[in-house]
Structure 1
Amino acid sequence: MLLITSELLVLVLAIVQASDGWIDWNYFALLSLFVQWTTLTSAALICLLRARLARMSTPRATLAISAIVLLDVLAFSLFADSVLHPQPGILDWQAIAKKLLLALLIVLMVLRYFYLQHQWQQQREAEMLAHLAALQARIQPHFLFNSMNTIASLIATDPEQAEEAVLDLSELFRASLRTGDQLIPLARELDLCKRYLAIESLRLGPRLQLEWHIAEGLEGQAIPPLTLQPLVENAVYHGIQPRQQGGTVRIEAEVRGNFVYLLVQNPKPEGTENLHKGNRMALSNIQARLQALFGEAAVLKHSHQGNVYTVTMRLPRITH
């Protein structure tokens, strides 16, 4: 970016300098050589001093960078004048002063641009964190309400099972209230899914059958918290609960290239009326969280083939 920008500036100056034709090619060649060398050496010096500059305040860092660039420009200006005017004692100090002034103005504009970019990036990250927290908060009632109803129905008939369900639910509460985690290991998310399914198995009994196919080595895969669990709940709520004979929920995780694919399959609901607003809201919230964290690399889609409904989540291969 620095090379292209500086070369465009040289081109503009060469066009302005030309008295005959569109561009003064001799001026363009000499100035391009001078600007490129000063740009590269200044950038190299600043990169070498980056750790020390990072510890300075913004005004002091600005002064330090400006001094580095001006000294670099002065050194190359003296060298260029000694080459172009080999006679000793002949230096065009006015031309050198103009170069220093122009270099100072350009440096200040570039630093201002980077400062505004940094401020914008910080604001964007803060807005993203607030957005993720809000989305996660909207997901919480989606699964906690049904879990509480399940426990309430067990208290009178099977207190011990109800106690185990309360322990499982407490882990779900703890996960839903832990809003500071943007990413967690896949193993922790799968544990939440198993705890939720343990609660639902108490309510649905043999009507709920489970199939797990998790590839080895994916325990540390990074995943946003409470993304797979709501998909599993949707599979139970829409694919198993309405069917008298029940059905099977299949959960898969595998690696393909640089991506990890998570699949949740369940019997297709017997009518589109079962796919109510809550299901669409859960899918849209998860999609929004994936986009905020991973961008276009993450994909969430749903499809049906025959009597099987499948939700597929694609995540970039990242270890937490």
Structure 2
Amino acid sequence: MPQYSILTTVKETPLGTDKGINKKDSTDFYVPDLCRVRAVFLLLVTSELFVLVLSIVQAERGWIDWNYFGLLSLFVQWTTLTSAALICLLRPWLAQMSVARATLAIVVIVLLDVLAFSLFADNVLHPQPGVALWQGIAKKLLVALLIVLMVLRYFYLQDQWQQQREAEMQARLTSLQARIQPHFLFNSMNTIASLIASNPEQAEEAVLDLSELFRASLRTDDQLVPLSRELELCQRYLAIEALRLGDRLKLDWDIQPGLEQQAIPPLTLQPLVENAIYHGIQPRPEGGTVRIEVYGKGHFVYLMVQNPKPESSNRQHQGNQVALVNIQARLQALFGEPAVLKHSHQHNIYTVTLRLPARTAS
């Protein structure tokens, strides 16, 4: 066993609790969170572009009617900001409704907001009410209705597309993880089979370690796990390999404290350690050292697995190559471009480096 251990406490919500079962989470609401600065900025930019188009169409001389542009910008920006603020405040309440009722409620909120600002603006500009005044207000309400329905339709389609994308990604991750499991089982069972006749007690211990490994690997519902759990998985795997390789396998752990809850896809580090043993340790009669290093730098967490440089004549282990491709695919699906997997050769040392965005596993 390597001289390294790490403990982790995972908080689980009992299945019988009411939290998150009878009530919908506001994060599932199809309208984005309008409390965010980015969402408000996009709304303001989009509404201003709409005002610009209307000002160009309205202009009788030149390209744009600047007076109309200024007045309409003031009106549209105030109605956009106040409507967004109201929807933001009422978001938890709206999220409990059906899509149709939430849409109707949002439409009513926006139209009432537009009506209030229309009455205020027209009373300031035209103190004497008349038929033309109410016709102008009716036009504003009609335009606001059409715009809000188009925007809500866009939000709904985006939400449906996002849900479909997440479902496809989950199916892809489950498929990728399932490909790793037979490969891992094949290598581990060969190790245990070689120990049954020579050392049954160690074989029994290896079977217990293997059962814990598969308990973790069969949790296909977990997209991200704490780094501590992944390191424990590696520790159990290396315990099995240490029984087979003996003194030929030396381990060097360098784990920076405080990174136990870093989020990492399950079965990410273990295939890299397995790759290091099969390419860097097993072909060498004298064995070698596998170094596992984890440290944080800036907004990223780096994981490095080092082993002696494989011999050029050594055939690539196809299963591990598939595992590396799967790891890269899972990293891209979960983290996007910030996640990087790369390898390098330097001073007869082969290094595989993972760069993950600093994120806490929930």
Identify the residue that residue 51 of structure 1 maps to in structure 2.
92
- Listed one character per residue, the Cα deviations across residues 69-95 of structure 1 (whole Å, up to 9, x for unaligned) are 111111111112211122356762111
Identify the residue that residue 84 of structure 1 maps to in structure 2.
125
Residue pair 2:339, 2:356 contacting (<8 A) in 1 also: yes
Secondary structure of the residue aligned to 1:92 is helix
The counterpart of 2:159, out of the listed 113, 118, 135, is 118
Identify the residue that residue 155 of structure 1 maps to in structure 2.
196
CA distance in 1 between counterparts of 2:133 and 2:251 reads: 84
Does residue 1:8 correspond to 2:49, yes or no? Answer: yes
Secondary structure of the residue aligned to 2:260 is coil
Secondary structure of the residue aligned to 1:42 is helix
Identify the residue that residue 254 of structure 1 maps to in structure 2.
295
CA distance in 1 between counterparts of 2:351 and 2:123 reads: 75
- What's the CA shift for 1:165? 0.6
Does residue 1:309 correspond to 2:350, yes or no? Answer: yes
Secondary structure of the residue aligned to 1:297 is coil
Residue pair 1:258, 1:317 contacting (<8 A) in 2 also: yes
CA distance in 2 between counterparts of 1:84 and 1:174 reads: 72
Unaligned 5+ residue runs, structure 1?
A: none
CA distance in 2 between counterparts of 1:281 and 1:128 reads: 18
Secondary structure of the residue aligned to 1:263 is strand
Secondary structure of the residue aligned to 2:127 is coil
Unaligned 5+ residue runs, structure 2?
A: 1-41
The counterpart of 2:60, out of the listed 10, 16, 19, is 19
CA distance in 1 between counterparts of 2:182 and 2:131 reads: 81
As a proportion of its length, which structure holds more helix? 1
Letter in 1 for 2:180: I
Matches within 5 A, 1:68-147: 68-87=109-128, 92-147=133-188
Identical amino acids, percent of aligned pairs? 80
- What's the CA shift for 1:277? 2.9
Secondary structure of the residue aligned to 2:337 is helix
- Listed one character per residue, the Cα deviations across residues 81-139 of structure 1 (whole Å, up to 9, x for unaligned) are 21112235676211111111111000000000001111111111111111111111111
Matches within 5 A, 1:192-271: 192-271=233-312
Higher mean displacement: 108-117 or 273-282: 273-282
Identify the residue that residue 31 of structure 2 maps to in structure 1.
none
Secondary structure of the residue aligned to 1:149 is helix
Q: Which has the higher contact order (CA 8 A, sep 6+)?
A: 2
Letter in 1 for 2:175: A
Residue pair 1:147, 1:169 contacting (<8 A) in 2 also: yes
Larger Rg: 1
Change (3 A) 1:207 1:88: closer
Residue pair 2:248, 2:287 contacting (<8 A) in 1 also: yes
Residue pair 2:279, 2:314 contacting (<8 A) in 1 also: no
The alignment covers a number of residue pairs equal to 320
Residue pair 2:271, 2:320 contacting (<8 A) in 1 also: no
Residue pair 1:182, 1:224 contacting (<8 A) in 2 also: yes
Residue pair 2:103, 2:152 contacting (<8 A) in 1 also: yes
CA distance in 1 between counterparts of 2:192 and 2:318 reads: 25
- Listed one character per residue, the Cα deviations across residues 132-176 of structure 1 (whole Å, up to 9, x for unaligned) are 111111111222111101111111111101100100111111112
Higher mean displacement: 85-94 or 132-141: 85-94
Higher mean displacement: 148-157 or 253-262: 253-262
TM-score, normalised relative to structure 2: 0.85
- Listed one character per residue, the Cα deviations across residues 8-31 of structure 1 (whole Å, up to 9, x for unaligned) are 111111111111211111111111
- What's the CA shift for 1:272? 5.3
Identify the residue that residue 214 of structure 2 maps to in structure 1.
173
The counterpart of 2:227, out of the listed 172, 176, 186, is 186
- Listed one character per residue, the Cα deviations across residues 258-291 of structure 1 (whole Å, up to 9, x for unaligned) are 2211111111111154324333211111111111
Q: Which runs of 4+ in 1 moved over 3 A?
A: 88-91
CA distance in 1 between counterparts of 2:349 and 2:260 reads: 27
